[in-house]
Amino acid sequence: MPAISASPITDTETPKPQKRESFLARKPWAAYLLRRGGYFVVSMFVLITVTFLLMQLIPGDPARVSAGENASPEAVEARRVELGLDRPVIVQYFSFWKGLFTGDLGESISSRMPVIDVIMQRAPATLEIAWSAVAIALFVAVCLGLTFGALTHGERRPGVDAGFNSVTAVLALIPEFLAGILLVYFFAVTLDLLPVAGREDFTSYILPVTALAFGPAAGLTRIVRAETLTVLQQDYVRTARARRMSPVRLYRKHVLPNLLTSTLTISGMALGGMIAGTVIVEGIFAWPGLGGVIVQSIQGKDYPLVQAIIIFYGAVVLLINLVIDVLLILLDPRTALDKS
């Protein structure tokens, strides 16, 4: 009887240890947030570096402006040393970074106040009208866009469709300064219903916030309506209609969640423009925010204050986009990760 030889063990029969997936591979939302946070840090680094270099390229002598036109050369040089402008640019650059981390952004050339104090005094007024305008624009856009989308989907009511497109297209093109002037003329000068300038009680907020939210609200309303029409044409919505789902439940369960993700994504780009628009609106309504300060700083060559305010505005815009991306993950993780 022949001996039975043992068959050789091949590599294919040897069980291979399975590699354990990393935490980021098992949690794609965590990888997305980590990557998004990295983009924020890199964007801030680029913003700060470019702003600093641009301030170096602007013609003019801040030391001469600070010391006065009639100051002696010795006084100008002493002021230059005092401001740290006599040091090499690379030394000033690292000193600026150190000041950012320690909260010391230098001294305003015109007022000789610490820059951080000027920003802390003026920024709340700017953020108040900016956040109010953002909230109103989003609320109006979602309400009106959803309503007109429901009224006109399936090519129903062509007259309403044409009227909506015409009116919102015109309103979306009105810039902040023109909206502000028209509001002042009708509600402050002609009707004498609201204050024309200043920051006092609730009524003083109405005109500047409306001027800031006017155009973006019209543009976002058009986007929300278009997204509503797209969602209403999807198969899952038709299936829900065939199952006789009530309209309220249909819009709450299927339309609104899909609508919010797209709207928030597009709103991130529009909201940055609204933050920048505060500079113009504050000038029209004599609003005591950063808009008036940056105009005066540019005219007075107050470079430390100008670069600090530019970085502040840029940081706010980048932070808004970061918050929106986090909200998208919370509202609809799968869709947000697919879009990312």
Delineate the domains of the chain, giving CATH numbers in brackets. 28-113 (no CATH), 123-336 (1.10.3720.10)
Q: Contact 327/262 with Cβ under 8 angstroms?
A: no
Q: Is the dihedral of CA 170, 172, 173, 175 positive or negative?
A: positive
| Phi, psi (rounded to 5 degrees) for 170 | -70, -45
- State the pLDDT at residue 44: 93
pLDDT, tens only, 64-122? 777 777 778 888 888 888 877 888 888 888 988 888 888 888 888 877 888 888 999 98
Half-sphere exposure at residue 54, Cβ-oriented, CA atoms within 13 angstroms: 12
Q: Contact 259/146 with Cβ under 8 angstroms?
A: yes
Q: Contact 310/2 with Cβ under 8 angstroms?
A: no
Tell me the β-bridge partners of 114.
107
d(C-alpha 218, C-alpha 18), whole Å: 55
Q: Contact 133/212 with Cβ under 8 angstroms?
A: yes
Query: Which amino acid, residue 84?
Result: G
Q: Contact 305/105 with Cβ under 8 angstroms?
A: no
- State the pLDDT at residue 279: 85
d(C-alpha 113, C-alpha 106), whole Å: 9
pLDDT, tens only, 148-186? 988 888 778 888 888 888 898 888 888 888 888 899 888
Structure token digits, residue 78:
């002493």
CA distances in angstroms from 70 to 66, 77, 298, listed in the order given: 11, 13, 21
Q: Contact 123/309 with Cβ under 8 angstroms?
A: no
- State the pLDDT at residue 127: 87
- State the pLDDT at residue 50: 92
Structure token digits, residue 193:
């219903």
CA distances in angstroms from 142 to 83, 88, 159, listed in the order given: 50, 53, 21
Around Cβ 75, how many Cβ atoms within 10 Å? 15
Residues of the chain with pLDDT under 70: 1-26, 269, 332-340
- Measured in whole angstroms, the distance separating CA 234 from the mean position of its chain's CA atoms is 31
Helices (H), 233-255: 235-242, 247-250
d(C-alpha 107, C-alpha 75), whole Å: 17
